[in-house]
Structure 1
Amino acid sequence: MGMLKEFKDFAMKGNLVDIAVAFVMGASFNKVVSSFTGGIVSPLIGMIGGTNFNDLKFVIKDAVTDASGKVTSNEVAILYGEFMTNLIDFIIVAFVMFMIVKGVNAMKKKEEAAPAPPAGPSQEELLAEIRDLLKKN
């Protein structure tokens, strides 16, 4: 079963309460992941580069100051360190949510797999029974 089909089955089943609970849990889990990446992953990666990972940026235009030191034009920069931190957050959350949904779907499949009904008579046996009943009449 493809991942897209699993997602479609997940999205189309359930009720509003299940979705609301999942939303609240996902938001809380996102905070946990954000603190993990911001407090543990980013500093470890920052140690390699010698700087805070969230402060990584590509400066397009430097800030302009006048003679008194007052900023007359702000810096223009691409904050790729913060973007990468958010991307790591997203990947972690998406992977964990996918694994949870996959586990729940596997449990549902086990519940749905009811024992097969007992095998009835074969087609030949039914035809023979019909033939015998017709002979009696």
Structure 2
Amino acid sequence: MLKGFKDFLLKGNVLDLAVAVVVGAAFTAIVTAFTENIINPLIASLGGADEMGFGFQITDSPETFVNIGAVISAGINFVIIAAVVYFILIVPYNHAKERFLTTEEAKATDIELLTEIRDLLADRPLARE
């Protein structure tokens, strides 16, 4: 029973769920607040005296403003969230996986497993219909 639970934890199902919850809820709100209140004003200051920020306007209508600063902020959001997820979840997961896997599981490669499957299938008689 505990072996099954260990396998469940180390196969990545829990990690996938944790990544989705963390990225979707907590870090997105924090990083968005950071970029909107700190990064966006810094990027908008690059736009000079333009009150709309860093970008350009295609026509006289304000709806045609191409906001380059928002795209840069979204990229910064993504990098920060990806870094947090990597260092908080993925690195510890990989460390735990290396520590708790048996030596046989760690040494088995895809090629070895496929070779074993091929040999087992070769030993079976062909079923004729």
Query: Aligned to 1:105, which of 62, 75, 94?
Result: 94
Give the number of the structure with larger relative contact order, counting CA–CA contacts within 8 Å between residues 6 or more apart.
2
Q: Pairwise mapping of residues 67-106 of structure 1 onto structure 2 (< 5 A)?
A: 75-100=63-88, 101-106=90-95
Q: Which amino acid is the alignment partner of residue 69 of structure 2?
A: G
Question: Is residue 45–residue 53 contact of structure 2 (8 Å, CA) maintained in 1?
Answer: no
Query: Aligned to 2:16, which of 5, 16, 19?
Result: 19
Q: Which amino acid is the alignment partner of residue 40 of structure 1?
A: I
Q: Pairwise mapping of residues 116-131 of structure 1 onto structure 2 (< 5 A)?
A: none
Q: 1:78 to 1:54 in 2, by over 3 A?
A: same
In structure 1, the gaps of 5 or more residues are 1-12, 64-73, 115-137
Q: Which structure: greater helix fraction?
A: 2
Q: 1:97 to 1:108 in 2, by over 3 A?
A: same
In structure 2, the gaps of 5 or more residues are 1-10, 104-129
Q: TM-score, normalised by structure 2?
A: 0.55
Q: Provide the aligned C-alpha RMSD in A.
A: 3.1
Pair member with larger Rg: 1
Question: Is residue 59–residue 78 contact of structure 1 (8 Å, CA) maintained in 2?
Answer: yes
Question: Is residue 58–residue 78 contact of structure 1 (8 Å, CA) maintained in 2?
Answer: yes
Aligned positions, number: 92
Q: 1:62 to 1:54 in 2, by over 3 A?
A: closer
Identity %: 31
Q: CA deviation at 1:40?
A: 2.1
Q: TM-score, normalised by structure 1?
A: 0.52
